[in-house]
Chains A and B, each alone.
Chain A
């Protein structure tokens, strides 16, 4: 819950920082957030992505020219394929951490994607690759919050910067 609230606040903060709401005449601001944290109860590292629904809709429409319904498993699989391709985590040897698709929730404003790396502490994340939507929207700004070893660190991704080391 904490993550989710922070996520939404952060999107808001990004909007305000970009001056969108100050003068709506400006462009829509394209932003996404991914929170990576360890869940001690399950022993998994969880990834919660939040994107603007409009951006995800536009992405899928421009790829497939049709309307998508993300509550339909077949349509959800299409988004999954895309996210799996554009977002991944790797350990210090460069091996991808297997990210399972937990699910997705959709409301009128946001699309939230849940992934988890089973039996993996967040500290194992050495590389973050995040190109979700930035291949589609040149001004997309993705923020990744990594909570590992008791500290929160934030990484910014753009279409020109899609991969970062956590060290």
Chain B
């Protein structure tokens, strides 16, 4: 009696679900990872929810991004510095070609003193992080600069279901205290978070990383029908142990955790004010967001020691002070086309301005010796896109779009020859075809063009040779299946071409526009949740990256990642206990273009064990590098000269993975 109307009602729900889905977000109420069938446009796109993020063991906040399969987050210097990212055959350096967003604010800093697209995620507060949406490849008209390898969008919660206070302590001077809470005030909600962190790391010269971090948000209504205003403030300062030459460690001159120049380090500040307004109805949805971000960085690095200046050393400073302001607006209209067909048309406009004062100074123990260059950069961009997502019938849907980007670069430099103005624009079309689902299986064909911007300082000095915007082209075949019960599997086979590769210049600590490149690769990701208390994730990715037009045998791209893998086992709600183990394999990389020097792979095991003392109090033990592997977090190959060496020598320079360490955390919820 009961089932018939239920089924009829269910069929009604499903038929209509398509109509609303693009406008009203759909999630499941099963505790499992939400299905991406019928939602994602590519096998390589996905969403990671708060529960999964909270169960991850992260040494540093940026590692939350490793929830996106195939992405590696590392560090080659002091803890306050932006991380090193690897994805899809790229060494993304500090974030080039990985566009990262927090609540519609760009995290990447363009024309940054130290690295193009600098992505410092140290201001990320995990307690507020509600979800992570990632895409790989340039297949969306919504993504612009830096999104060719991928994009990651982090969402902070407008309100917390439960307030949280946490204190942690660990080896090597690690201590953290954080508070995140929501309070109803009138018709709105005030959500705030405060965080203080100290960490020395395992280094002979402790990082003494000191972080203070805060978020204050006021929101009204629902996220899809309401608004929010957010203020954030972050401050960090640290000493850095940069990568060290292998020869010095082999000769016993330096320990693995030693530094060559103990005055390296930095200080960063970030303040932002942002707002989001959204209106969602049956037939239309509008979103407008705006932000002003003040970023300041002082960074002292020394990668070559006494190669350029045998007397004072090669330390250099790369200060960067900037105000980034911007707006984004999108408007979607929903059109019904028939019984099983529906279409959403979205138009969007974006504008961003960066007012930057940065420079490169020669320094000794942080004291300025010479100004190599000091620049005032104004980079202004505007973009517009139109995207159509149509479900044609029960087994075929498409998302097609085109975006136009225009960027103006203005540089006023301490050297007249380095000053100038230039402008560049590009149109980037994209097409996504999705077939299925048949037996819980969808097939994807993706094709699109993307780009990254080059450093303004390079584009104005040599216009014509260094374009402002560099074209990328990607294509992908993908499959996603949930045919096996409780299992989500995605496979993607992709190719990505770049007109010009950005390469990291170790001795200058900057990036440089290089030759064209081609990457082909395959990614395989699985998520299996056979029981409510157990989930298993297994991901593997392989990429083949080559420069194009290079001399035979010299077409390798230094530090380009080849293989990545992870196996993660998560146990939750097993009575009072929960826990996780994660094995990460960070495959070998060529370090020079003829592949004669390669980095070794590193395999690390991390884990956590949680015990619920009461409904409100939980104890957590996190362990890092549990097998205590002596491996590199990152390797480079370049020339350097230590004090007392007669000449510079090419060598592998490495930054070690932290040895086995534990952190104990007490979490109180209310």
Using a CB–CB cutoff of 8 Å, the interface residues on chain A facing chain B are 4-5, 8-9, 11-12, 15, 20-21, 23-29, 52-54, 56-59, 61-75, 77-78, 106, 108-111, 136, 138-139
Chain A residues with Cβ under 8 A from B374's Cβ?
none
Which of A25, A27, A136 is B339 in contact with, Cβ under 8 Å? A25
> Which stretch from B6-14, B461-469, B483-491 is at the chain A interface?
B6-14
Is B16 an interface residue, CB under 8 A from the partner?
yes
Which of B12, B30, B225 is A62 in contact with, Cβ under 8 Å? B225
Q: Is the CB of A20 within 8 A of B29?
A: no
Chain B residues with Cβ under 8 A from A111's Cβ?
29
Q: Is the CB of B161 within 8 A of A74?
A: yes
Shortest distance in angstroms between A57's beta carbon and chain B's nearest beta carbon? 5
Q: Is the CB of A66 within 8 A of B29?
A: no
CB 8 Å contact bits of B308-349 with A (1 = contact, 0 = none): 000000000000000000000000000011111110000000
Which of B34, B161, B282, B340 is A75 in contact with, Cβ under 8 Å? B161
Other contacts beyond A67-B51, A109-B13: 20, CB < 8 A:
A8-B5, A20-B12, A21-B15, A24-B15, A24-B16, A24-B340, A25-B336, A26-B336, A27-B16, A29-B16, A57-B27, A57-B28, A57-B29, A61-B27, A64-B160, A66-B157, A67-B131, A109-B6, A109-B10, A136-B225
Is B593 an interface residue, CB under 8 A from the partner?
no
From A15, A56, A67, residue with most partner B Cβ within 10 Å: A67
Is B438 an interface residue, CB under 8 A from the partner?
no
**Chain B residue nearest in CB terms to A15:** B12
> Which stretch from B18-26, B252-260, B378-386, B655-663 is at the chain A interface?
B18-26
Chain A to chain B contacts (Cβ below 8 Å), 6 pairs: A5-B2, A27-B19, A28-B17, A65-B158, A72-B31, A109-B6
Q: Is the CB of A67 within 8 A of B222?
A: no
Chain B residues with Cβ under 8 A from A59's Cβ?
222
Q: Is the CB of B338 within 8 A of A25?
A: yes
Chain A residues with Cβ under 8 A from B26's Cβ?
54, 57-58
- A-B CB pair tally, cutoff 8 Å: 138
Total residues of chain B contacting the partner, CB 8 A: 54
Shortest distance in angstroms between B425's beta carbon and chain A's nearest beta carbon? 35
**Chain B residue nearest in CB terms to A72:** B31
Chain B residues with Cβ under 8 A from A20's Cβ?
12, 15-16
Is B281 an interface residue, CB under 8 A from the partner?
yes
Shortest distance in angstroms between B131's beta carbon and chain A's nearest beta carbon? 6
Q: Is the CB of A26 within 8 A of B6?
A: no
From B24, B29, B50, B157, residue with most partner A Cβ within 10 Å: B29
Shortest distance in angstroms between B484's beta carbon and chain A's nearest beta carbon? 18
Shortest distance in angstroms between A7's beta carbon and chain B's nearest beta carbon? 9
Q: Is the CB of A26 within 8 A of B19?
A: yes
Q: Is the CB of B29 within 8 A of A65?
A: no
Chain B residues with Cβ under 8 A from A12's Cβ?
5, 8-9, 12
Is B643 an interface residue, CB under 8 A from the partner?
no
Q: Is the CB of B19 within 8 A of A24?
A: yes
Which of B159, B340, B342 is A63 in contact with, Cβ under 8 Å? B159
Shortest distance in angstroms between B241's beta carbon and chain A's nearest beta carbon? 37
Shortest distance in angstroms between A148's beta carbon and chain B's nearest beta carbon? 25
Q: Is the CB of B10 within 8 A of A108?
A: yes
Is B49 an interface residue, CB under 8 A from the partner?
yes
9 nearest A-B pairs in the assembled complex, by CB-CB distance: A69-B31, A28-B16, A65-B130, A24-B15, A25-B336, A62-B222, A66-B50, A67-B49, A66-B130
Shortest distance in angstroms between A122's beta carbon and chain B's nearest beta carbon? 24
Chain A residues with Cβ under 8 A from B615's Cβ?
73-74
CB 8 Å contact bits of B23-46 with A (1 = contact, 0 = none): 011111111001000000000000
**Chain B residue nearest in CB terms to A10:** B5
Q: Is the CB of B224 within 8 A of A62?
A: yes
Shortest distance in angstroms between B264's beta carbon and chain A's nearest beta carbon? 39
Which of B1, B13, B161, B281 is A64 in contact with, Cβ under 8 Å? B161
Is B156 an interface residue, CB under 8 A from the partner?
yes
Shortest distance in angstroms between A25's beta carbon and chain B's nearest beta carbon? 4
Is B155 an interface residue, CB under 8 A from the partner?
yes
Shortest distance in angstroms between B34's beta carbon and chain A's nearest beta carbon? 6
From A12, A24, A29, residue with most partner B Cβ within 10 Å: A24
Bound-state CA distance A109–B30 (Å) is 12
Known contacts A24-B19, A25-B339; A56/B12 CB under 8 A: no
Among B611-643, those with CB < 8 Å from A are 615
Q: Is the CB of B222 within 8 A of A28?
A: no
Q: Is the CB of A58 within 8 A of B25?
A: yes
Is B373 an interface residue, CB under 8 A from the partner?
no
Shortest distance in angstroms between B228's beta carbon and chain A's nearest beta carbon? 10
Q: Is the CB of B13 within 8 A of A52?
A: yes
Known contacts A8-B2, A26-B19, A67-B51; A15/B9 CB under 8 A: yes
Chain A residues with Cβ under 8 A from B159's Cβ?
63-64
Bound-state CA distance A46–B426 (Å) is 63
Among B129-185, those with CB < 8 Å from A are 130-131, 155-162
Shortest distance in angstroms between A54's beta carbon and chain B's nearest beta carbon? 6
Chain A residues with Cβ under 8 A from B162's Cβ?
74
CB 8 Å contact bits of B512-537 with A (1 = contact, 0 = none): 00000000000000000000100000
Q: Is the CB of A21 within 8 A of B8?
A: yes
Which of A26, A67, A110 is B16 in contact with, Cβ under 8 Å? A26
Bound-state CA distance A78–B339 (Å) is 36
Bound-state CA distance A27–B31 (Å) is 28
**Chain A residue nearest in CB terms to B52:** A67
**Chain A residue nearest in CB terms to B7:** A109
Bound-state CA distance A122–B84 (Å) is 65
Bound-state CA distance A151–B223 (Å) is 42
